Structure 1
């Protein structure tokens, strides 16, 4: 059993909490890139470009090099869009964590601490889409501390908070590329209730699906 404790966020946790979120999201870059490459339109473009270059060039090396550069440019595009999402989040609810989560009724922000180091975070606030439910947000654990039960404990902290505050259920959203997160939520009792394509131009182009999960409090009493 890992030596850790879950406690409410404090002002001194500000920088590390934001860094844990940013680092966790940055880990999704490779998965997002591979997801984009698996889309039919993406494969069609790559095949057409390669065939066109092979037909127009007397060298086999040039088409391969050009395709490599195209893939590198696509990867940089994914990184840029992901960086913009991280920046937007850091300037939204994570800009003033106290105001967003601790000064708002029915909301809270917790950190997981191990050996006097903050190694994980989770937050909760009333869901805007589903009245009467609590939304779990910003769950992230440092890579070196995963597999020790910390993420499960953070999830339980949110469900306990929901129960004490009279919420009917806890809901959350995760993406198609966050495979480990999906497994975690299902292991602790969440059920997938719906899915939709991220409503942005990049989201629609990549068919980037968002999954909605729900944990019913009444069913666990």
Structure 2
């Protein structure tokens, strides 16, 4: 059950989850450090997700690594290469995943996540909200109007504190973005994710989003795109969309 309350211009959404109440409200300056912590920790969790879980989603990478192993064996004629090279590949994937994602984090912190009030709170076409559980900020999400496609708003920066997942925080945050879209008469809500964890995709599908495309070999902002990064870092970017008109008509 959800309840909406008005306090000035601040719209608060309350979601009841068992005996706990999740309050979704607009960002306040005092939330900045907690928001940045949740966002950065969420990004850092994507390093092993990208480096290891993502490997099975890229058969072209597996083929390349197999060819590298075969070539090294032919050149060296050493059987221990067969065992050593896969370990080196995994280390390379972890190292470059960490470097790219850390670069993306630095870029975000130097832009919108470094000056949240200026980027999100001063324009009627953007907003950032936090989820509060038992007086503590445990999640964050943002909405930003898009020029292309016209009439759309993008869900961005969704992240939930690891200790509070599976408590309905992500759903409450997502519904707040949908409420924003309906109120401001946007036709579509879009989002993109490079996550491989099934839980992230299940959350978006639960909110009503559908996957409308996948970009294999997505160039992550902050990547240097060197030869070794091309070899050891490769991600799929999933594009999701939700028609807001379907929400208002149901």
Shorter-chain TM-score bucket reads: 0.7 to 0.9
Structure-2 residue corresponding to 1:171: 190
User: CA separation in 1, counterparts of 2:67 and 2:185?
Assistant: 57
- Residues 74 and 186 (structure 1 numbering): CA distance in 2 closer, same or farther, change over 3 Å? closer
- Specify which of 117, 140, 156 is matched with residue 121 of structure 1: 140
The answer to whether 1:24 aligns with 2:42 is yes
Give the 3 Å change call, closer, same or farther, for CA 44–166 of structure 1 in structure 2. Answer: closer
CA distance in 1, matches of 2:44, 2:163: 15
CA separation of 1:211 and 1:101: change in aligned 2, threshold 3 A: same
Q: 2:93 aligns with which of 69, 74, 97?
A: 74
Match of 1:108 in 2: 127
Count of residue pairs the alignment pairs up = 221
TM-score (norm 2): 0.78
Length-normalised TM-score, structure 1: 0.87
1: CA distance, partners of 2:182 / 2:65: 51
SS at match of 1:111: strand
Deviation track 1:62-89 (CA, whole Å, cap 9, x = no partner) reads: 6534542343133212111111111111
Cα drift, residue 39 of structure 1: 3.1
More strand by share: 2
- Superposed CA RMSD: 2.5
Structure 2 gaps of 5+ residues are 1-16
Alignment partners' CA distance in 2, 1:189 and 1:160: 13
**Pair 1:211-2:238 in alignment:** yes
Structure 1 residues not aligned, in runs of 5+ = none
**Equivalent residues of 1:111, 1:121 under 8 A apart:** yes
Deviation at 1:130, TM superposition (A): 1.5
| 8 Å contact kept, 2:97–2:233 | no
